[in-house]
Amino acid sequence: MHERNNHFATAADWRTAGRKARASHAEPLTLPSGAKILAARPEPLEWIMSGRVPQRLLAAALERGGSAPPADAAELSREDVLELARFAAQLVKASVVRPALGDGPDEIPFDDIPVEDRTFIFQWACRALSGTQSTKEGLSSPSADGLERFCEK
């Protein structure tokens, strides 16, 4: 990360470093539509600590520790469904490295991505959040089973 004369990194420095780190961990994916993208799996601990994992999902994963799903797992409120939809969209957007997603001139609007492709990217990214991928430095993560069940809904 570049330091200024005052020895403090700027916000732009951190953004650039974050993009470079994400790109260095990215891998090519061929989507159901045939489109090819470069995608990076999310870091589970980062998503948990930043509050981006829905609270119901996180609570279930922490409580269950991999045991059977709770009896009320099928009973999702309207807010739970909306929170899951927001989470899914955030996860897909955060996973796609190239092509750029957004509303700019050289970016692809999220809604222009076929739903089958969005679903594929979401499920691919959930495997990282579910613990299927190893976490940094051997840190434990919430129950893989709990996260996996939620991502499959």
The 10s digit of each residue's pLDDT in 48-66 is: 777 777 777 777 666 665 5
CA angle at residue 54 from 117 to 137, to 5 degrees?
A: 85
- pLDDT exceeds cutoff 70 at 148: no
DSSP H stretches of helix in the chain: 11-24, 44-49, 55-64, 78-95, 115-129, 144-152
What is the pTM assigned to this prediction? 0.68
Q: Is residue 60 part of a domain?
A: yes
Lowest mean pLDDT, pick from 3-7, 75-79, 92-96: 3-7
Q: Is residue 63 part of a domain?
A: yes
Q: Is residue 20 part of a domain?
A: no
Q: What is the pLDDT of residues 93-129, one digit of tens each?
A: 989 999 999 999 999 999 999 999 999 999 999 887 6
Q: Is residue 96 part of a domain?
A: yes
**pLDDT top residue among 144 and 2:** 2
Count of domains forming the chain: 1
Q: Is residue 80 part of a domain?
A: yes
Tell me the residue range of the domain where 41 lies: 28-152
Mean pLDDT, residues 72-90 taken together: 80
Distance, in Å, from the CA atom of 70 to the CA atom of 84, rounded to the nearest integer, reads 17
65 Rama sector, left if φ>0, alpha if ψ -120 to 50, beta otherwise? left
Mean pLDDT, residues 137-144 taken together: 38
Where do we find the tokens 């993208």? Answer: 37
